[in-house]
Structure 1
Amino acid sequence: MTAVRPGLRTLLEPLTPSAAKAEVYAEDTYVQETVEHLRRSGREPGAFAREHSLLLLKPDAVVARAVEPTLDWLAANGFQVVGARRVAVNRHLVRAIWYFAWNIASPERRRLADLLAGISDALVLVLRGSDGELPVPVRLTEAKGPTDPRRRQPGHLRYVLGRHNFLLNLVHSPDDPADVLREFAILFDEDARAAVLAGGSASAADLAGELYASTPERSFERAAALARVRRDLLEVGVPVAAELSDADCARLLHEAWDAGHELDPWSVLVLGSYVLPMRAGTGPQTLPPVTAQTWLEGRS
C-alpha cells in the first residue's frame, strides 16, 4: 500500500469529520484530479468544496418530472444554481459514486440501480451558497432529507418531490466538502469541469426539457408495475397468480431473471424497489455517512 499523500491529507482534514475518509481520499484518483484542476484554475480547493455542492437528479427524477420543483426548492432554501450539465449514467459511474457505501448493498439493489441507469441521462446541478456553521454540502444534505421515506419531514426536498421509497429517492448530493471534491471529477471530465468553472452551461430548465422529451413520465406505484410485469410474463407463456405478496413478487422477479425473460425495465425497477432487499449483511458502510450532527460534533 502506498503512503498517504501528506499534503492532500492536510487539505482534506478540515473538509470532513471522518479521519478515515481523509486518509482514503488522499489516495483517491478523483480527489487528486479535482484538487489539481482547481489549483491550476486559480481556485483554492478547500474553499470551493465548502462553498459549493452538487445535486444529481437521477433518472427517476426525470421520469417523475422533478426538475422544476427542485429548482424552486433550491431558490427558496438559499442555494444558487451556477452550473447544469446533462450526464450519461452507467454502471461504472454509479459504482464510483457509491463505492464506499455499496459494500452493504444487496445484489438486487445493484441490479436495480443498473436498470435505473439505463432509463435516462441524469441532470447534475452545481450549487453555490453561504459557507457558515455548516458548509454548503452538509447543509444541502441535511435539507434534502434522508433516504428512508419514513424519516423525511415537510420541507425536505425529498418530501416535496414525493414519498416514493428507499431506492427511488430521485436525488443525490455529496455528504461533505471532501465528497464534493471526489464527485466533481466522477461526474464531469476536465472539459465539463472547465466549462462549469467558467460559468458556461445550459439552463437547467432547458436541459430538463430535453430529458423529458426523450423519457416518458411513468407511474411509481407498485400495482401498476406488477400489472405490467404480469402482462409481459403472460405474453411469453408464464402464468402469474392474481394475488401476489411481496415475497411472491420477489420470487417472480428472480425467476424471470434466471429464465432470461425480457420485461419492461421501469416496471421491474419499481416493483423490485418495493419487494427486493436493499441491504446485505449487518455491518457498516466502508465509510459512514456524514450528517449535520456528525459534522458539528467533529468540529467541536
Structure 2
Amino acid sequence: MTDDTLRTLLTALTPSKEKVDAYLADTYVLETVDQAQALGIDVERFSHEHSLLLLKPDAIVARAVDPTLEWLAANEFQVVDARRVVVDRHVARALWYFAWNIASPERRRLADLLVGISDVLVLVVRGPVGELPTPVRLAEAKGATDPRKRRPGDLRYLLGRHNYLLNLVHSPDDPADVLRELAIYFDEHTRADVFARALEGRGRSGDAAALGRELYDVTLARSFERSDAAARLRDELGSAAAESPEHSDDAALLDVAWASGRDLDPWSLIVLGSYVLPMRTGSGSQTLRPVGATDWLEARP
C-alpha cells in the first residue's frame, strides 16, 4: 500500500490529522492493514463496525466481567470474540505510546505493577453503525478516565471503582486505533483467527464469561479501599513504617515502602498509589489528543 493510499484510508478512520500523520509509519497499524487486505477484508468497514474492549487486571480483581457483558448487551454491543492475553510493561507502553510521555514516573511504576497482577481479557465487539462508528460509540459510552466526569449509564460508572488509574476498562478511541490495537494484543496467526470469528458475527459472550472465570480462579478478589491498602502496607513494613515523622501520611508511607526495597504486596502499593501519587507530569509534553464523538461528527462531510 502506498503512503497516499494509506493516508486516504486513515483519513476515513480518524478525524485527527495528527493521528493520520503518526500512524502512517506505525508498525502496528501497518501490520493489521497489510494482513487484513491480504485476507480480502474491507479494512474501513471492519474497523467501523468493530471495536475492542480491554478488561484490565483491576477489572479481574474487581470481578467485573459479568457486569461488563451485561452492559454490552444492554447497549447493543455484541461480543464476537474473546481472548485471554498475557500483558507486560511493553504492552502498556505500546497501547498508550502517544500519551505515555505525559504520564508521571509514579504512574508508570504503578502501571508496571498492575500488569503483573493478572492476565487480561480482550473482547472483540460489534455494534450497529449509525452516526458514530462502533469504536467511537463504545469509547463515549464506557465513560471518562476522570471519575468526576463519569455519568450514570457509563460502563465505568456502573462498575463503581471511581478511581483515575484503576478505571478497569480501556477501548480504542476510533477506527484507526482499532487497527493499531489489534496488532498490539495479537500476533499474526491469532489476528487471522480474530478476523474470522468477528466476521462470522456469532455471539460469544459465553466464551468471554468462561474466560473470566478462568482468570478469577488464579486472581484474588481484593479491596479497592485506600484505608485497607495503607493498613496492609503498615503491617508488612512493621517498625519501618514509623521511620518517617509523617508515617501516618499515606504519601510518606509509600516513600518508606519504595525505599525499603522489600517485596511488599503489589496490590496495596497500586491502590494506595492510585489515590495519593501524581498521574501526570507538568512538562507540557505534546501527545495525541483523544478523539471524541464531537470530533467525529464535526469532521464528517
Q: TM-score, normalised by structure 2?
A: 0.93
Aligned residue for 2:253, secondary structure, equals helix
Corresponding residue for 1:226? 230
8 Å Cα contact 2:49/2:128 also seen in 1: yes
Shift of 1:179: 0.3
Corresponding residue for 2:94? 96
Deviations 1:127-146 (A, max 9, x none): 01112210000000000000
Structure 1 segments (4+ residues) deviating >3 Å:
240-245
Corresponding residue for 1:130? 128
Corresponding residue for 1:292? 293
Find the aligned partners of 1:260 and 1:24 in 2 and give their Cα distance: 39
1:205 and 2:209 aligned: yes
Aligned residue for 2:269, secondary structure, equals helix
Find the aligned partners of 1:150 and 1:92 in 2 and give their Cα distance: 29
Corresponding residue for 1:252? 253
Deviations 1:8-52 (A, max 9, x none): 111100111101101110110000000011111110111111110
Letter in 2 for 1:184: L
Distance 1:259 1:206, change over 3 A: same
8 Å Cα contact 1:102/1:285 also seen in 2: no
Q: 1:144 aligns with which of 142, 157, 167?
A: 142
Find the aligned partners of 2:253 and 2:299 in 1 and give their Cα distance: 46
8 Å Cα contact 2:136/2:292 also seen in 1: yes
Distance 1:257 1:199, change over 3 A: same
Corresponding residue for 2:242? 239
Structure 1 gap ranges (5+): none
* Count of paired positions: 294
Aligned residue for 1:83, secondary structure, equals strand
Letter in 2 for 1:217: A
Aligned residue for 1:198, secondary structure, equals helix
Q: 1:86 aligns with which of 84, 87, 91?
A: 84
Shift of 1:240: 6.6
8 Å Cα contact 1:149/1:164 also seen in 2: yes
Find the aligned partners of 2:241 and 2:210 in 1 and give their Cα distance: 43
Find the aligned partners of 2:130 and 2:52 in 1 and give their Cα distance: 17
8 Å Cα contact 2:51/2:126 also seen in 1: yes
1:214 and 2:215 aligned: no
Letter in 2 for 1:271: L
Letter in 2 for 1:239: A
Q: 1:57 aligns with which of 49, 55, 58?
A: 55
Deviations 1:228-276 (A, max 9, x none): 0101110x7442789866xx32232133213312210000000000000
State the Cα RMSD in Å.
1.9
Find the aligned partners of 2:185 and 2:145 in 1 and give their Cα distance: 21
Letter in 1 for 2:183: A
Aligned residue for 1:181, secondary structure, equals helix
Distance 1:14 1:154, change over 3 A: same
Deviations 1:33-77 (A, max 9, x none): 000111111101111111100000000000000000000000000
Find the aligned partners of 2:27 and 2:114 in 1 and give their Cα distance: 26
Shift of 1:281: 1.2
Find the aligned partners of 1:240 and 1:75 in 2 and give their Cα distance: 52
Find the aligned partners of 1:157 and 1:285 in 2 and give their Cα distance: 29
Letter in 1 for 2:131: E
Aligned residue for 2:294, secondary structure, equals helix
Find the aligned partners of 2:287 and 2:299 in 1 and give their Cα distance: 18
Letter in 1 for 2:57: P
Q: 1:25 aligns with which of 19, 23, 26?
A: 23
Find the aligned partners of 1:285 and 1:167 in 2 and give their Cα distance: 21
Aligned residue for 2:81, secondary structure, equals strand
8 Å Cα contact 1:30/1:181 also seen in 2: yes
Distance 1:296 1:190, change over 3 A: same
Shift of 1:5: 2.0
Find the aligned partners of 2:151 and 2:246 in 1 and give their Cα distance: 33
